[in-house]
Chain A
Amino acid sequence: MHAMDITSLTITQAKKDLKEKKYSSVELTKAYLARIKDVEPKVKAYVTVTEEEAIKNAEEADKKIAEGEDLPLLGIPLSIKDNFSTNGIRTTASSKVLDNYIPPYDATVVKKLKDAGMVLLGKTNMDAWAHGSSTETSDYGSSRNPWNTDHLPGGSSGGAAASIAADEALGAIGSETAGSIRQPASWCGVVGLKPTYGRVSRYGVIAMGSSLDSPGPITKTVEDAALLLQILAGADPHDATTGINSVVDYRKNLTKDIKNVKIGIADDYFEGVDPQVKKTVEEALKVFEQLGAHVKKVQLFHPKYAIAVYTILQRAEVSSNLARFDGIRYGNDRSFFGDEAKRRIMLGTYTLSAGYYDQYYNKALKVRTVIIDDFKKAFEDVDVIIGPTSPTTSLPVGATAGQAMFGELADLLVEPSSIAGLSGINVPCGFSKEGLPIGMQIIGPQWGEETILNVAYKYEQENPLYKIKPKL
């Protein structure tokens, strides 16, 4: 078997190749497993590599391909963030509390991917319980940024983003509560799509912020993200918060002309941003103008107002969602919780307690509505809002030590759209002098995935940074 160069592959390309029998799924999968063995010591993207399962999936896929079956992901190797329940396969949320937990059921997302024929390479590392924006709070050690392994991949879907940047998977599934897809995608120079809250089922995803969690794809290219979203999107009878809005064809209008698309930029979303990041995103905006889109200013609240709202709502929900981990029915007992989890539980409990509920939780709910309305108003004026995803590029390992609010400050620019339940996508738009990726986010209204994918795709065509690889 000749060594495959998988680093140039995308899901779209690999699907074509498999169909044309350029190689088999087993060959493809083995190539990824070999790559994982090769670079994992440096990248540490995975908590669990499911080698046997992967080969089995690939063999089944090859059989189906031979029989002429055509499923959307048939034979395609993916990685899945370790907060998605996978039947019979260890699922830890990167916490020692669940070190030995094996779910007896699949998350809806996992089931959909299985039904689409995917090959599961393994479960990726994350901030424990998704509490973070760096992957440093993982109980299994930090993942590393493939562009500089002394740096962090971001979080909480750090392992997922790293697995794509390092070509340790063809596609990845992550989840975002406030930035956990877009920010690591930005730091790792890959595409990360946060769908509208309720677009993708949360059933089986270990809950962090119930009113915020949005599962979504992390991929090399925008087209791949659209492909994965197509499989994941849709109402789920197991999740009462999924929307009944019809699922459109997300790839159909990728190539649509964006002449006359109105792009909004808000000055406050560029404030306090690293000068290199700011400059790179501003240059990206020029590309949109060249493509015929109209860039105009929009009025939005300063993103800093979202921090308090997000902190309170999320931690309140976290404090309740973690209550089930008492070690009685599964997992280890509460003494296995890490410090960050404990901090969040305490703060969340406090904001919900008698005498404080009104001034914290209830107030946060009200401000949330105000932020939702603020965006609604802006989207009457523009089709999408664009700005930097993260105020900085990837930070070095150890940067989050002693910084209890690191995540909330790092995710400043994505928190408002997360609280409002909107759709958003990170697209790589450049590199810093230090060689670290810079990402820009395109925010759309609720159910606006089609629009942001279109805008993202058109940009990517002009600036296909996915062709540049990290040296590992």
Chain B
Amino acid sequence: MKNNYTPVIGLEVHVELKTKSKMFCACSAEYFGKEPNTHTCPVCLGLPGALPVPNKLAIEWCIKIALALNCGINEYSKFDRKNYFYPDLAKGYQISQYDLPFGHDGKITLKNGKEIRIRRVHMEEDTGKLSHQEIDGKKVSLIDFNRSGVPLVEIVTEPDFDNATDVKEYLEKLQQIVRYLDVANADMDKGEMRLEPNISLRKGEKQTTYLKESDLPNYKVEVKNINSFRFVEDAIKFETARQQVLLDDNQRPTQETRGWNEDKQKTFSQRSKEDAQEYRYFPEPDIPPIITTKAQIETYKKSLPELPDEKAKKFIELGFSPYTAMVSTATLPRANYIKNSFNWAKELDIDSMGTVNYILNKRINDIPNVPYKTMVEDYKKQSTVQTVDEGELEKFILEVINENEKAVADYKSGKENVLMFLLGQTMRKIGKKVDTEMVKQLLIKKLS
């Protein structure tokens, strides 16, 4: 008999902050697409004698992200060195945070009411980028340090997920929140938001309460190289199936890091994590501890924009449907645009909900190019029923009848619904919004 397994998933997300300069030096952080090794200095190249100086704005933004995720903020915080060797890690250690991250113990609530616990929100620096190429017939590995030192915020959840759909929703919410805060672009295809799910399977049914430490599986598999939300779902599906086969065969899946191969739609083994890598964390001696006072935290809290969930709630109170509220609050600029249009329409005594739907139906990515007042006017214009000259109307109808012999014949032979087609043709000729019912009646009269 096959066992019943439930996925146990925790997420590690890295968000690149869109600060102008890097985390510990003044180099430009806007590295995407730039000529390699042109945004470097002694600090981010790890030259002898170079020292890190923290980017205050990046820290402020990290704290804001933590607050937006309902985290507690450590008033006393510090950076730590995470020591390991890799060619793209210039200093041989990464400046990160270990035991006193800026944010801790937060949560995100999903649509279904489930609360995903956020264990920590911390700051660290990005590494350089390796590129494996063949030059003059020789296989080489090249390193571009433009990305070295770019500020990253790492957000780690507890293993509270048990399905891929919730994971996708969480990720979309997280992306939306950092965009609302205007601290990150979080474009996954530019590597501005990176996902690493930790996936394992537990025997038993889904639970509504959080798993106890003792309930957790005795292994977990980390999956890297996932570049889109859709791939997260695919990777989770693949991993769950792969692990199930092993477990059914009484084998414990190896604790390891696996990479997602999007072409092959599978994960493959990268490196074993059986012995957790020894990072020898110790407090970064080159950077004094960071003190954030209660007063400062309050100031940061007050400076947060109204977040998507809150905004959507307010829209629903104004009469929006949940769906319309959700679409309206997809981005902060759009939410503001919708709100302004709604209010302006109300002032002009125009159907405000109609205005909103009119704008949303335009399906523009963010907001329309026209100022909201103009947009409201547009809606008013095209929604106002206009008059049409009777003689002109008769002319149009006769044209339609003449141009659509077969349709007319069909109608006369009993196919009633052809009338809508003929009506549509007539409306097109008229070209403006008129009383449809009136036109329909006249059309019927002329057809008989």
Contact = CB atoms under 8 A, between A and B. Distances in A.
Interface of A: 83-85, 91, 93, 98, 101, 103-105, 107, 202-207, 210-211, 237-241, 316-317, 319-320, 322-326, 328-330, 349, 352-354, 357, 361, 365
B259 interface: no
Interface string B326-347: 0000000000000000000000
A98 B45 CA distance: 16
16 contacts: A101-B48, A103-B42, A203-B51, A207-B51, A211-B285, A240-B287, A241-B286, A241-B287, A322-B92, A323-B91, A323-B93, A324-B48, A326-B92, A349-B280, A352-B282, A357-B280
A210 B83 contact: no
Given A240-B286, A241-B286, A323-B83, A328 B143 contact: yes
Contacts of B136: none
A460 B93 CA distance: 46
Given A210-B285, A329-B90, A240 B52 contact: yes
B54 to A, nearest CB: 7
B281 to A, nearest CB: 8
Interface in B235-259: none
A340 B206 CA distance: 58
B49 A107 contact: yes
Q: How large is the interface on B (under 10, 10 to 19, 20 to 34, 35 or more residues)?
A: 20 to 34
Contacts of B91: 323-324
Point out which of A207, A353, A361 has the most chain B C-beta atoms below 10 A from its C-beta: A207
B35 interface: no
A323 B91 CA distance: 6
Contacts of A107: 49
A211 B289 CA distance: 13
The main secondary structure of chain A at its interface with chain B is loop
A85 B85 CA distance: 24
Interface in B37-76: 42, 45-54
Given A317-B285, A328-B87, A357-B280, A204 B49 contact: yes
Contacts of B92: 320, 322-326
Contacts of A328: 87, 143
Contacts of A361: 282
A238 B48 contact: no
Contact of B93 (A104, A202, A320): A320
Nearest to B280: A352
Nearest to A98: B48
A91 B42 CA distance: 14
Interface in B286-310: 286-288
Contacts of B54: 240
Contacts of A237: 53
Contacts of B42: 85, 103-105, 204
A455 to B, nearest CB: 30
A320 B81 contact: yes
A352 B83 contact: yes
A444 to B, nearest CB: 22
Given A203-B51, A352-B83, 20 more contacts: A85-B48, A91-B48, A103-B42, A105-B42, A107-B49, A204-B42, A237-B53, A240-B52, A240-B53, A240-B54, A241-B286, A320-B93, A320-B282, A323-B85, A324-B46, A324-B90, A326-B87, A326-B92, A357-B282, A361-B282
Interface string B257-285: 00000000000000000000010111101
B240 to A, nearest CB: 32
Q: Which 7 A-B pairs have the closest CB atoms?
A: A323-B92, A352-B280, A210-B285, A211-B285, A204-B49, A206-B48, A324-B46
Point out which of B48, B51, B53, B283 has the most chain A C-beta atoms below 10 A from its C-beta: B48
Contact of A239 (B48, B53, B81): B53
Contacts of B281: 352, 357
B83 A104 contact: no
A103 B288 contact: no
Nearest to B88: A328
Contacts of A207: 48-49, 51
A127 to B, nearest CB: 16
B284 to A, nearest CB: 8
Contacts of B49: 83-85, 103, 107, 202-207
A94 B54 CA distance: 31
Contacts of B288: 240-241
A329 B89 CA distance: 11
B51 A103 contact: no
A203 B280 contact: no
A269 to B, nearest CB: 27
A323 B47 CA distance: 11
A354 B98 CA distance: 14
Contacts of A316: 282
A353 B280 contact: yes
A326 B88 CA distance: 11
Nearest to A84: B49
Point out which of B52, B280, B286 has the most chain A C-beta atoms below 10 A from its C-beta: B280
Interface in B194-222: none
Interface in B76-119: 81, 83, 85, 87, 90-93
Point out which of B143, B282, B283 has the most chain A C-beta atoms below 10 A from its C-beta: B282
Contact of A330 (B47, B51, B143, B286): B47
Nearest to B25: A238
Given A104-B42, A349-B280, A93 B48 contact: yes
A326 B85 contact: yes
A108 to B, nearest CB: 9
Nearest to A101: B48
A103 B286 contact: no
A29 B285 CA distance: 39
Contact of B278 (A93, A322, A353): A353
A198 to B, nearest CB: 9
Contacts of A239: 51, 53, 286
Given A210-B286, A323-B91, A324-B90, A329 B51 contact: no
Nearest to A107: B49
Contacts of A105: 42, 47
A105 B81 CA distance: 25
A329 B45 contact: yes
B45 A238 contact: no
A345 B47 CA distance: 19
A103 B47 contact: yes
A309 B393 CA distance: 98
Contacts of B93: 320, 323
A325 B54 CA distance: 23
Contacts of B287: 240-241
B40 to A, nearest CB: 10
Contacts of B90: 324, 329
B36 to A, nearest CB: 13
A260 B45 CA distance: 52
Nearest to A204: B49
A239 B143 CA distance: 27
A354 B283 CA distance: 15
B322 to A, nearest CB: 49
Nearest to A316: B282
Contacts of A325: 48, 92
Contact of A238 (B46, B47, B53, B87): B53
Contacts of A320: 81, 83, 92-93, 280, 282
Nearest to A323: B92
A8 to B, nearest CB: 35
B90 to A, nearest CB: 6
A328 B85 CA distance: 12
A361 B90 CA distance: 24
B102 to A, nearest CB: 17
Contacts of A352: 83, 280-282
A210 B49 CA distance: 10
A84 B49 CA distance: 8
Interface in B350-396: none
A93 B278 CA distance: 29
A240 B51 contact: yes
Nearest to B54: A240
A330 B46 CA distance: 10
